[in-house]
Amino acid sequence: MSAQNSGPRRDTRGIVDAADLFAHVRFRRHAPAPELRPYLEHYWLIDWDLPQPYASHLVPHPSVNLVFQRYDDGRPDFLELSGVGLALDTRKLAGRGRVCGVQFRPGGFRPFAPGFAVSEWTDRVVPAEPVFPSVDPTAVLSPDRDEGRVSALDAFLLGLDPRPDPQVELAMELVDRIRHDRTVRRVDALAREAGLSPRSLQRLFAAHVGVGPKWVVLRYRIHEALEHAESTDAVDWARLAAELGYADQAHLVRDFTATLGAPPSTLRPGASHA
C-alpha cells in the first residue's frame, strides 16, 4: 500500500475565502483510525449556529466524500454520497446544524463500494443508503465531543472491511504524483511511466478516481492558482501560468474563471489564510 497520510491536511486549498468560512462555522479535521489512513484524507467536522444565512464555496478536490448531516429544520439525520464535483460547489447554511464528512483520498473510495465504478457518482450528490443500507447517521452525529464522532466514523468504515487492491494503490499513487509534481502535464507521458496505454490509464481513473487524469491535472493547478490569488495582491500571472504548465496567462485565467465563475482579480487577497 502506498504511503499513509501522516495526519489531516492543514492547507485550505479549494476553499474560496477560507477565513470568511472559518468566521462563520466551527471547522475541524481529524485523522481516521490507522487501518483507514491508506484510503482517507481525513474526517472534516462542521458545526454552526447562524443568525443569518451563509453560503460557502468550494472548488472540489478529485475526491469522493460521505457527508453525515443534521439540520434544525425538522429533517431527520441523513447521509449523502458526494462524487467528484466538476464545478464550484456552493452550500447554503442557515440556523443551526452539524456535518460530519469523510474525504477519501482520490482513488481511495472504491474498496468501500467495490461493486461500483467511482465515475457513476461523478458530479452527483445522492442518498447513500442504496450503497450503504445499514448506515445509521444519528450514531455518527449525536456525540457532542469530536472524539465520539470520530470513533463512530471509524466504526462505520471499518465495518465495511476495505481490502487492499493493487489497482486502487496504483490509482492513488498516480494522483499523488499529479498533485505534488508540477512536471506531470501530459497524460501519454504519465501512462508510459506507469506502464499503461493511455486508454488503460483512462479506464483506471474512471473506475477508481471518477474523472480522467487530464482533469485531475487541471483541477490541482486551479487549486494552486486560487491559493496564489487569495494569498497576495501581486501575483505574476504570466509566470504562474508557465510554472503550472499553461500555454499562456490567458489560458490560465480562462480556466480559473470557468471554474470559479469569476476572474482572479475579483478575489480578496489574504482570504485563504486561516
Please give the model's pTM, rounded to 2 decimal places. 0.89
Q: Report pLDDT for 139.
A: 97
**Residue 125 CB contacts under 8 Å (≥ 6 apart), including other chains:** 80, 81, 82, 83
Q: Lowest mean pLDDT: which of 87-91, 119-123, 164-168?
A: 87-91
Q: Quick: pLDDT tens for 98-107.
A: 999 999 999 9
| pLDDT score of 262 | 78
Are the CB atoms for 24 and 88 separated by under 8 Å? no
**Among 87-91, 226-230, 242-246, the range of highest mean pLDDT:** 87-91
Q: CA angle, 199 as apex, 194 and 205 as ends, to 5°?
A: 70
Enter the C-alpha cell of residue 227: 491559493
Q: Specify the higher pLDDT residue, 31 or 88.
A: 31
Collapsing DSSP to helix, strand or coil, 245 comes out as coil
Q: Is the backbone of residue 140 left (phi > 0), alpha (psi -120 to 50) or beta?
A: alpha
Q: How far apart are CA 199 and CA 203, in angstroms?
A: 6
Selection from 56, 14, 18, 60 nearest residue 223 by Cα: 14
pLDDT at res. 4: 55
Beta bridge partners of 162: none
What is d(CA 16, CA 20) in angstroms, rounded to the nearest whole number? Answer: 9
Per-chain mean pLDDT for the chain: 90
Residues 27, 31: Cα–Cα separation, whole Å = 14
Per-residue pLDDT, averaged over 206-220, amounts to 94
Specify the pLDDT at position 5.
58
Mean pLDDT for 207-236 is 86
Instruction: Point out the least confidently predicted range of 7-21, 114-128, 137-151.
Output: 7-21
Distance, in Å, from the CA atom of 117 to the CA atom of 119, rounded to the nearest integer, reads 5
For residue 166 the three cell numbers come to 493493487
pLDDT at 271: 43
Cβ count near 239 (within 10 Å)? 10
**Which residue is it, cell 489497482?**
167
Can you give the pLDDT at residue 154?
A: 98
Which residue type, as a one-letter code, is found at position 184? V
What CA–CA distance (Å, rounded) separates 106 from 127? 20
> Is the Cβ–Cβ distance between 4 and 41 less than 8 Å?
no
Q: What is the pLDDT of residue 213?
A: 95
Assess whether pLDDT exceeds 50 at residue 272.
Answer: no
Q: What is the pLDDT of residue 2?
A: 52
Using the predicted structure, report yes or no on whether residue 42 has a pLDDT greater than 90: yes
80: nearest Cα among 14, 131, 120, 44: 131
* pLDDT greater than 90 at residue 269: no
